[in-house]
Chain A
Amino acid sequence: MKNSSPLKWFASREGLYYLALALLLVVILPLALDPFRLNMVGKYLTYAFVAIGLVMCWGKAGILSLGQGVFFGLGGYCMAMFLKLEASTPEATAIQSTPGIPDFMDWNQLTALPWFWEPFHSLSFTFIAIIAVPVILAFVIGFAMFTRRVGGVYFAIITQAIAAILTILIIGQQGYTGGVNGITDLKTLAGWDIRTDSAKTILYFVCVGMLFLCLFAARFVQNRKLGRILVAMNAQEMRVRFSGYDVAAFKIFVFCLAAAFAGIGGALFTLIVGFMSPSFIGIVSSIEMVIFCALGGRLSILGAVYGALLVNAAKSGFSESFPELWPFAMGALFIGVVLAFPNGLAGLYQTYVMPLEDRLFKRKPKADKAEPVSQKPVEKKDEGRDYDPMLDQYSPEKS
């Protein structure tokens, strides 16, 4: 690596972008916003985890998953199950016919805790499960699909179906999952009240910290040979395969990585918002997560964070003042991003703002310091090749 020393890296252009984001999230927003709004920003940031995963999975490797809400929800439910058990002590639930189990189970005539709830009494198990459960599911799906070379549109539809299945299942099994209301009334995390303003502020900073960990993890992956192979796979899968790489293994890896990010995001979401419900899992919310990533720029992990922040802020803003206009705006955003600027904000930034920066700071434009978005032209041209079912898939002469 060129920028081996951390100090040098922070002075590089990429480092400055990270610093700017850190400055925004750690200093500017906490100073400018009241605890309520800051909590909302925290909620938006939990979606950024999913968006970063999607950048790796969809932007780099070309695997569009429309079921990221599943992993987000699984992480969130794992956290919520622990918090719910902690809130349902025999003393707190003494009025129930079976004290000591969560209230919704009592309402649904359950008399004992189901077996899969038992391990969630342990905090360390919960922390492992938050990552392990989504990753295991992602591995199973990925293994079944990628080793059979299912990709592209088929993969998108099947992940979407899985999101539908999980939502119906959770809503249907009310006694075990809390049904359509989800798991609510969460109070403390290991004795620490998560509902106070100070706790919410602390959780916000925890969320920002985790976000940067995930950002660095994603950056680590994208800057290694591994990341290059992912991009190469997206552009020319056959050539990568013929070069001796196990394409399926790389795809499974990146899909699991995205699932892990989504799981962490979901768990933080539960902590910050204070409940978890199936509405965050379903088809609609899963596909919305894709737009966070698409708006920010499908190839830029930093862009994904801004995309998640902007879309969610706009959504709250619209929903407060013109609720009926929001779906129009959202729809236009989907169409606009896809038709007009497929590389999202990061792409626009690179085309219009970066040259200005270069002039301002008298730098010579250097491609190697930028995010790999600079490979855009090649990328775009090749994108269609992979998936077009009508044609010889890898015919080189197709435009």
Chain B
Amino acid sequence: MFDGYTTSELMSIFAMQGFAGLSLFSVFVLMALGLAIIFGQMGVINMAHGEFMILGAYTTYLTSGFFQSYMPSLFGGYFFIAMILAFLICAALGALIEWLMIRHLYHRPLDTLLATWGLSLIMQQAYRSIFGAREVGVELPEWMMGAIQVTDLVELPINGLFVMIIALSIALGVYLLMYRSSWGKKVRAVVQNRPMAEAVGINSAGVDRMTFALGCGIAGIAGAAFTMIGSTGPSSGQAYIVDTFLVVVFGGAQSLIGTIVSAFGISQAQSTMEFFLSGSMAKVLTLLVVVGILMLRPEGLMALKVRR
């Protein structure tokens, strides 16, 4: 499949496709972080995660519209406000959903999966009724447009870079929260041994609710970032959910580093193969390899070793 390309051309192709893969990587990381927190830490499958992401995207869309009509002078900075709003709205909705639905189902993970699927159907249709079935896009502020020319053949779009920076900072933030804060310590204690954590006085129900809300909030940020590189439609979230689940499971459900590594691997493989094969075959091959590896190594790339 590499016939007919010179080495330097191949290098440029890999660099370009590699960068194209990086924006996919950013979306994967942002979505997978939220999922990994919820699934890895609580064992809950949130099928509506994509819809939470789209909620964040629509929040960004509305914020950008608001800034455009009322505060055009501050338009350059709207994205940061939108990101915070998206986080807060999604986290609040997440906490509400946890209270209404998820907490009754902790001992039935398969049922959570079905219930959140129902939730995702409802949310999708709500978007369709409110925002219409057509995809909407936001207007990028001036400083995010354009590209950095690295060599003659390789140029990097600024919005892609920006999204990647967001993805990595959120990942770092989650790492610090999980491994360097007292709250993270509680979460990990509950994951490793719930009865024991309760016995030492950790409010495990509260930890659960906060974890779920945090995961949904990160999905909201993912949505805000998503608007920078693509347009948003009612069912855009569903398109990513299976890939993201595979990213999480492939990385090892309870390992944040594993999630990032697997997001990187899957997005790079898919994007590089896309240049040489058709898009659909690239995706089929990537997914097949991932499923194949998961069948051989069900615990994922980096599994947390816990005595069971």
Contacts and interface: CB of A to CB of B under 8 A. Distances in A.
Nearest to B241: A283
B118 A169 contact: no
Interface string B111-142: 11111011111101100110000000000000
Given A153-B109, A332-B122, A172 B291 contact: no
B233 to A, nearest CB: 15
Interface stretch (B10-18, B62-70, B98-106): B98-106
B43 A342 contact: no
A149 B299 CA distance: 11
7 contacts: A164-B287, A165-B287, A169-B280, A331-B125, A335-B101, A389-B253, A390-B42
B122 A328 contact: yes
A61 B284 CA distance: 30
Interface in A330-370: 330-339, 342
Nearest to B113: A156
Contacts of B190: 390
Contact of A150 (B129, B298, B308): B298
A334 to B, nearest CB: 3
A137 interface: no
Interface string B263-284: 0000000000000001011011
A290 B114 contact: yes
A164 B108 contact: no
Contact of A327 (B109, B114, B124, B278): B124
Contacts of A338: 105, 108, 111-112, 114-115, 118
Contact of B114 (A291, A328, A385): A291
A333 B298 contact: no
Contacts of B111: 338, 342
A283 B283 contact: no
B280 A171 contact: yes
B290 interface: yes
Contacts, number: 150
B298 A145 contact: yes
A383 B118 contact: no
A89 interface: no
A392 B104 CA distance: 20
B242 A283 contact: yes
Interface in B45-78: 45
B110 interface: yes
Which DSSP category, helix, strand, loop or mixed, fits chain B's interface?
Answer: helix
Nearest to A380: B108
A294 B108 CA distance: 14
Contacts of A284: 238
A381 B113 CA distance: 18
Interface in A301-335: 324, 327-328, 330-335
Contacts of A113: none
A384 B194 CA distance: 14
A390 B43 contact: yes
Interface residues of B, number: 52
A157 interface: yes
A161 B291 contact: yes
A67 to B, nearest CB: 11
Given A162-B291, A328-B122, A384 B106 contact: yes
Interface of A: 58, 64, 66, 141, 144-145, 148-150, 152-154, 156-158, 160-162, 164-165, 168-169, 171-172, 283-284, 287, 290-291, 294, 324, 327-328, 330-339, 342, 383-385, 387-393, 398-399
Nearest to A66: B113
Contacts of A328: 121-122, 125
Contact of A390 (B112, B194, B246): B194
A333 B295 contact: no
A330 to B, nearest CB: 5
Contacts of A66: 113
Contacts of B122: 327-328, 331-332, 335
A152 B288 CA distance: 20
B246 A384 contact: no
A389 B128 CA distance: 36
B114 A334 contact: yes
A388 B125 contact: no
A157 to B, nearest CB: 5
B226 interface: no
B195 A331 contact: no
B87 interface: no
Contact of B295 (A148, A327, A336): A148
Identify the 7 closest CB pairs spanning chains A and B, nearest first: A334-B118, A384-B107, A172-B280, A331-B122, A327-B125, A331-B121, A144-B295
B249 interface: yes
Which among B39, B101, B115 has the greatest number of chain A C-beta atoms within 10 A?
A: B115
B139 to A, nearest CB: 29
Contacts of A153: 39, 43, 45, 109-110, 113
Contact of A339 (B115, B283, B287): B115
